[in-house]
Structure 1
Amino acid sequence: MMFRLYRWAGCLLLLWLTTGLNAQPVTPADYHLNAYTLHDAALGDIRYYVSNEGLQTKKPLLILLDGSSHLPLTLLVKQPRRMEVMNTFDHDLLKLANRFHVVMISKPGVPFCDTIQVQRDTVTMEDVDRLLPMPYIYRHKGGLEWRAEAASRVIDAVCAKFPVDAGRVVVYGYSEGAQVAPKVAVLNKRVTHCASVFGSGLNQLYDFIHDARLEAVKGHISYEAAQRRIDSLLRQFEDIYRHPQDTRKDWEGNTYQRWASYGAEPPVQQFAQLDIPLFVVAGIHDTNSPVYSLDYLPLEFLRLGKKNLTYKVYPVDHFFRNTANPRDTTDYKSQMLTALLQWLKVR
């Protein structure tokens, strides 16, 4: 079902580092990051992290916006015989610190690292879900507005604090972050390039409706059952839009406030407001961020006569795997990063 996909869609390339009982990489410094906090009257504390390689060297700025859920950037999992570390950020992008000032931002009320303890030597995402409750602050602020406004403020802070090449201020978002990225670019005119990987073009609530129709087309359910599901979904969405600020009511693991914030303005409307270069990536086999939603973007840009969209589609799922051909060993992630750097004209 879609809720699981949405709930954990942000866990890109979860990296488990098994190192027994030795010291674990759980601090920003362990990843060559410096930690900073902005104290904002409206948003509260904004925790962000800047790569410390060449910190006083003038370089382009790369803001990384991770995916959904209240997972920290680093999670320490204590097991009976060992400890493991899970990262929800993309190490391949962090490696670009030799070319960019790379910046990551924690979700509201979420620390850089948190810890859970399990009673066996394996752990599942269901374990994480059960043992890592949603923080109070995240529940009340974890929507599109906070993430976009926070990223905009971080851009201003980093540009004021460090030597940034003002000609290349890049916002890169993945999954939920890919829907935040164009909003950041609309808010902050310092942004010169916007990259959106496995995000959405349409209202993400529409994915649930489309999923029901597709289940019927595939013969998994009857057309009548699909219609009943859609009627139920529309009643649910009506309730969400009637209570867009409600942080007590949940649906599919997220608050009404979170759903309403991302459903208030479809990403295509934000993309269409931008005249800066746009780099959008979709996966043919991605069931988390269905390609049809992103296919709408180039059509809309053709209608508007806009020429600033680069649209790349790869034969992969949400994690750059070609699930239709398990024998395919092509490194599509590297292909995408190469295309991204060429688009940015960065060597």
Structure 2
Amino acid sequence: MTGIAALVLAVVCGGACAAPAAREEAIDFGKTQGARFTLQRDGAPDIRYVISRPAQRAPLVLYVQGSGCIPPFIGLGTPNRASTIFSWVPLAQQGRYAVMAVDKPYQPEAPLQGQQGGALDCPKAFNDHFSYDRWLATLVQAVHHAATLPYVDARRVLVIGISEGATMAAGLARALPEVTDVALVGGSGPTQMFDFAVNIYRADAADAEKLRRLQELDATVSDIKADPASTAKFAWGHTYLRWSSFFAQSSSDNLSHAKARIYLASGMQDDSVPILSTEAMYAQLRAQGRDVTFRRVPGANHSLQAQGQPFPDVQKEYDGIMRWFEQR
């Protein structure tokens, strides 16, 4: 474990994270089998993750979901089981990889009515707990546990981060030298504050209006920095704690300090995370001589879906990530 990962675990978990007790439940995914592990910790929320069981010992692929408290799986143990993470099930059913996803601590068991990527309607316990550092510590420990399973070949580990999950994927690649490959889908580059600023400049508005919005952005960020641990105050659908911890992260810098190969995928019409943010990160990584691939998807939105394209067709973009992974 690197110093960063060790520090994260020490701060969040104390000594309780060293060797948590694990409980395993068998999961049937139709064409493949898997398990849900619960890692019990004293003084900290349990860590829970789901992993598919490949036909033979295989590389580990971790999907990290986007923002909010939408659970990555619904109806496990029932005939109506499903994943809310696009492409997780198709990849798991191939039987060629050990595919995993981790629950965010204190997430609800089912999606909330009308919920998207915000946290306004998430449980209080979720918002009181959720931050970049605590989520990173949870992911680090889940990966470490999964790497010990007999059907996991931990010599190759791919992390696919989607939206907010892309920021986490970059952080994991820095914290864990075990991560050999990392893919960021719709991910921020320099910082999430930079994303906000770029979107303001992209708006169809006069400079005076853009300046007003930029000043409003600065004022909100200053408010967050003045009370960075608050879980009672919200901005843009998330707590100040969440924003202060994520504003402190730069995927560009984290990937600069990682050993992993890098794959970037962004929609050229993404209104959430502007592709110019990803371009800035790509330029920095290229200047450093890093092994980085950038898939720019014409006409596509934050989910890599082009206008008029059936959403299932987005699968080809995730298939492209796996082809890239296999090229090593």
TM-score (structure 2 length as normaliser):
0.80
Aligned to 2:194: 206
User: 2:85 aligned to 80, 83, 89, which one?
Assistant: 89
Q: Deviations over 1:10-31 (max 9, x none)?
A: xxxxxxxxxxxxxxxxx95457
| One-letter identity of the residue aligned with 1:224 | A
Q: Which residue of 2 aligns with 1:61?
A: 60
Shift in CA distance, 35/211, structure 1 to aligned 2, threshold 3 Å: same
Q: 1:311 aligns with which of 282, 294, 303?
A: 294
Q: Is the 8 A contact 2:163 2:185 kept in 1?
A: yes
Match of 2:162 among 159, 174, 178: 174
Unaligned runs of 5+ in 2: 1-25
SS across alignment from 2:105: coil
DSSP 3-state at the match of 2:273: coil
Query: The residue matched to 2:161 in structure 1 has which SS?
Result: strand
- Where 1:300 maps in the other structure, the secondary structure is helix
Structure 1 segment 126-165 matched on structure 2, within 5 A: 133-165=121-153
Give the residue type in structure 2 aligned to 1:318: H
1:38 is aligned to 39
* C-alpha distance after superposition, 1:101-154 (max 9, x if no partner): 11111111014x3266xxxxxx7448x989x93123311222221222111111
Deviations 1:242-282 (A, max 9, x none): 22222121112100010111110211110111122111111
Cα offset, 1:164, TM superposition? 1.9
Alpha-carbon distance in 1 for matches of 2:245, 2:282: 24
Say if 1:243 and 1:226 are closer, same or farther in 2 by CA, change over 3 A.
Answer: same
Identity within the alignment, %:
23
SS in 2 for 1:160: coil
Matched, 1:50 2:51: yes
2:65–2:162 CA contact under 8 A, matched in 1: yes
Equivalences, count = 294
Whether the aligned pair in 1 keeps the contact of 2:159 and 2:183 (CA below 8 Å) is yes
Q: Which residue in 1 is equivalent to 2:316?
A: 335
Partner residue in 2 for 1:108: 105
Q: Structure 2: how far apart are the matches of 1:141 and 1:339?
A: 35
Q: Which moved more, 1:293-302 or 1:67-76?
A: 67-76
In the alignment, the residues of structure 2 paired with residue 33 and residue 243 of structure 1 have an alpha-carbon distance, to the nearest angstrom, of 42
Compute the displacement of 1:53 (Å).
Answer: 4.5
Structure-2 separation of matches of 1:258 and 1:201: 18
Report 1:129-278 matches (<5 A): 133-215=121-203, 218=204, 221-278=205-262
C-alpha RMSD of matched pairs (Å): 2.9
Report the secondary structure of 1:278's partner residue. strand
The 2-side partners of 1:184 and 1:35 are apart by 21
Instruction: Please state how far the C-alpha of 1:212 moved relative to its aligned partner.
Output: 2.4
| Pairwise CA distance, 1:339 | 2.4
CA 1:99 to 1:346, structure 2 compared with 1: closer, same or farther past 3 Å?
A: farther
CA distance change for structure 1 residues 286 and 85 in 2, over 3 Å: closer, same or farther? farther
Is the CA contact 1:46–1:150 (under 8 Å) kept in the aligned structure 2?
yes
Q: Distance in 1 between matches of 2:168 and 2:137?
A: 10
Contact 1:320–1:332 (CA under 8 A) maintained in structure 2: no
Q: Deviations over 1:271-297 (max 9, x none)?
A: 111122111111101112210000012
Alpha-carbon distance, 1:41 to partner: 4.5
Distance 1:73 1:342 in 2: 24
What amino acid does structure 1 have at the position aligned with 2:235? W
